A and B are shown apart, each in its own frame.
Chain A
Amino acid sequence: MKNYKQIFDELQKETGKIIVGQENVVEQILIAILCDGNALLEGYPGLAKTLTVRTLAQLMDLKFSRIQNTPDLMPSDITGTYIIEETSGKRQFKFQPGPVFANVVLADEINRATPKTQSALLEAMQEKQVTVGTNTFKLDLPFFVLATQNPIEQEGTYPLPEAQADRFLLKISVSYPTYEQELEIVDKYAAEAKDQKLKVMLNKNHLLTLQGLTRQVPIANDIKQRAVKIVLATRANKEVIQYGASPRASIGMILAAKARALIEGRNHVSNDDLNALAYPILRHRIILNFEAERKGMSKDDAIKQILDKVK
């Protein structure tokens, strides 16, 4: 297990060449990748969300594509479309794959796309396939959608419907860097432009093996039961939460805890994994009631309340 920890430590170190700080964000993206899940990154503009995803894709030697979501983006702009191709005097329809045909798809500012376009990603995220017309195309594995959204500038946006938000394993909150980190960022990017060369750390096969290994990490029965109790508590806590998390959250919680254990070089899941991952797992799956919002309570506050209760 220590060897795996070394791999992830090296990965963090390499990412650190480009991204200053944000170790938690990198770790959580890695967790989503190891769980074969998708992640939603939420943070203010300019916090290197896109850069982080791009850097990780480079380090893993994965095919990367970026979709800049706008209100006029069409589903076919994502999935691909049939075009007429003329070869030796004959015209025929040929499928032109869209940007979704990659290993890592970065859907930038996903809440700016219309619900119709957003839902074009649904099938790809869940089924790892794309249907265009009457044909279904399998996507190359591993496949992840890492979407970003800004919590501000909500005008003219289309917030993700609950059904679609539930399909993201984690909602990663990207926070501002500290004073020291920001100084380092300034030093790094305001000085002479240097081309940082990144070392490829993992390939597709390594990643698929690691995904298989993640599911083999053992978990104690009482920790498993606690994970389920935490999710159930979101449905029972009607004083604060109007709608609780789905069973998909329970699955995600245990799987993500296993991935975190693997990243940290542990051969067992710990309660600390649940405490750390309850926030990104649950924050996009619960809806606070009016009373809680009136009190100025955040979703993370509600989750903390549950974690304190379910020991």
Chain B
Amino acid sequence: MSLKSYKPGIVESKYAPLREKLRTAADNIGMDNPIVQELEYEVTSEMKNVGLSMFINPRTLSYKIFAVMILSFMIIFATTLNIKFMEFARKTAPNIFEGPKGVGNFAAAKLNASGDIYGKEDVAKLGDKELNIRIKPVDFKVNVKEEGDFQQQKFESVFPQDLTVKETAAYEENIPQEQQELVRNYFKRLAEG
């Protein structure tokens, strides 16, 4: 493994006092011996001096910022002038924008094979006739000559005139009459005494 891809090696290259120490500590971590423990303590103390700023390359960073600025200005400039990059690309490299071909797209292959994609010629030829087409938002079916004025609809409020309160049907258990009599008599006698 090269030092560039080895993480302790990267830190060591940025902070010279840790040179060879950090990787030794990393490779011998967990070893129970006083020298390793002393090394670990020393490395931990020195790691506090390693700042994040050491890993930032000011030159690369300024190049990146400059590139982002240039790109931003280009986008604003293109938007202001209404430059259509897709149109430009379509003109310069039309092959890229050709329809799908080959085995994967049967529909396209079928259409291309017939060569007649517009149907009957008299239907296809519309000339300079004005077409009124309305597309329904739900099923997207096209209806020719289907239009009308906007109609104001009036809604009537209907409220029932004869309001009556009806007694709800009482709940009655399906108990035979004889048994009902028997229970009634029992409670009657109990009340009498």
Contacts and interface: CB of A to CB of B under 8 A. Distances in A.
Interface of A: 1, 213, 216-223, 267-271
A223 B28 CA distance: 13
Contacts of A221: 23, 27
- Across the A-B interface, the 3 shortest Cβ-Cβ residue pairs: A268-B24, A218-B28, A220-B24
A267 B33 contact: no
A267 B39 contact: yes
Interface in B1-51: 1, 3, 6, 20-21, 23-28, 31, 33-36, 38-39, 42
Contact of A219 (B3, B6, B24, B42): B24
B30 to A, nearest CB: 11
A267 B42 contact: yes
Contacts of B39: 218, 267-268
Interface in B83-123: none
A296 B20 CA distance: 37
Q: How large is the interface on B (under 10, 10 to 19, 20 to 34, 35 or more residues)?
A: 10 to 19
A170 to B, nearest CB: 23
Nearest to B22: A220
Contact of A216 (B20, B33, B42): B33
Contacts of A267: 21, 35-36, 38-39, 42
Decide if the interface of chain B is mainly helix, strand, loop or mixed: helix
Contacts of A213: 35
A223 B20 contact: yes
Contacts of A219: 24, 27-28
Given A216-B33, A218-B31, A269 B38 contact: no
16 contacts: A216-B33, A216-B35, A217-B35, A218-B24, A218-B31, A219-B24, A220-B23, A220-B27, A222-B6, A223-B20, A267-B21, A267-B35, A267-B42, A269-B20, A269-B24, A271-B20
Interface in B165-185: none
Contacts of B20: 220, 223, 268-271
Contacts of A269: 20, 24
Nearest to A217: B35
Contacts of A223: 20, 24
Nearest to A214: B35
Nearest to A273: B20
Contacts of B42: 267
B33 to A, nearest CB: 4
Contacts of B23: 220-222
Contacts of B33: 216, 218
Given A218-B39, A223-B20, A268-B24, 4 more contacts: A218-B28, A218-B36, A220-B23, A267-B21
